[in-house]
Amino acid sequence: MKDLPQKISEFVRNNSLPGEAAHMKMAPNSRVRTSQAKEYTGFDPKLSAVMILLYPKNGIWHNALIQRPTYPGVHSAQMSFPGGKQEASDRDFAHTALRETEEEIGVPQNQISLLTELTEVYIPPSNFLVKPFVGVTDDQPNFVKQASEVSEIVEYPIAQLLNADVIKEKDIVFSSGFKIKTPYFDINGKVVWGATAIMLSEFREILNEIGFKDKI
């Protein structure tokens, strides 16, 4: 589907986003499976933005996820999109997503065209409110990882998201010993769960709605 960027833009322009209905399909069982109803507004959440970056590779549309390093924190070693906390110098959330993408995986901001913003996601354990963006590059990027923030860059064809067996379920055990059962995406053998899976679920719904095919 050579016109994937155009199809995504047209869909978002002419339709409501899948939103929380898509989010809840990949939400951990411990998360309230009803509308958030802006329940986080009184928590003064930290603001952040991430990038779902689409790019051509060997004639097929790809996306790149990152694995965070192991560290003493709630998101240690987790899979995520490139992105991070909004800085005072950022013009807006889109700038945050672009800046963080360049810093963490080395893709220059001026090489990324933004297609749309998806539905925001609140992350209770770290009190972050995340704005996801979908962007595209014309060419396959030359990735350079930021060692302090990224332990691995994981590339995968986005058609993989539409495979019937890509969604699985397992118990996730935190360092504290707390355990939850949660759905996750099995991406190249990596467990993609939590907020990243929730955002990816909305993107997956859009691919289904536009009748995505994997060839460019």
Does the pLDDT at position 145 exceed 60?
yes
Q: What's at 155, amino acid-wise?
A: E
Q: Is the pTM of this model over 0.75?
A: yes
The torsion angles phi and psi of 97, rounded to 5 degrees, stand at -60, -45
Measure the CA–CA gap between 151 and 159, rounded to whole angstroms: 24
Q: What's at 92, amino acid-wise?
A: D
Tokens of 119: 């539905």
The dihedral sign for the CA sequence 108, 121, 185, 215: negative
Measure the CA–CA gap between 181 and 188, rounded to whole angstroms: 21
Does the pLDDT at position 33 exceed 50?
no
- pLDDT value at position 61? 97
- The pLDDT confidence band at residue 35, using thresholds 50, 70 and 90, is very low
Does the pLDDT at position 37 exceed 50?
no
Does the pLDDT at position 163 exceed 90?
yes
**What DSSP designation does 68 have?**
P
- pLDDT value at position 150? 95
User: Which residues fall within 8 angstroms of residue 41, CB to CB, at 6 or more apart?
Assistant: none
User: Which residues fall within 8 angstroms of residue 182, CB to CB, at 6 or more apart?
Assistant: 27, 28, 29, 30, 169, 170, 171, 172, 193, 194
Read off the pLDDT of residues 90-99 as tens digits, 9 standing for 90 and up. 999 999 999 9
Average pLDDT, integer, range 155-166: 96
Strands (E), the chain: 46-57, 60-67, 79-80, 83-85, 113-117, 121-123, 128-136, 152-157, 167-173, 179-187, 190-192
Read off the pLDDT of residues 42-95 as tens digits, 9 standing for 90 and up. 667 889 999 999 999 999 999 999 999 876 555 567 899 999 999 999 999 999
Q: Which of 74-83, 180-189, 195-204 has the lowest mean pLDDT?
A: 74-83
Q: Is 19 helix (H, G, I), strand (E, B) or coil?
A: helix
Domains belonging to the chain, first-starting first, are 4-209 (3.90.79.10)
- pLDDT value at position 73? 56
Average pLDDT, integer, range 177-190: 89
Average pLDDT, integer, range 107-111: 98
From residue 105, how far is each of 37, 93, 139, 153, 206 by CA, in Å? 34, 18, 15, 8, 25
- pLDDT value at position 34? 38
Q: Are 158 and 187 in contact (CB under 8 A)?
A: no
- pLDDT value at position 29? 67
Q: Which of 1-5, 115-119, 132-136 has the lowest mean pLDDT?
A: 1-5
Does the pLDDT at position 41 exceed 70?
no
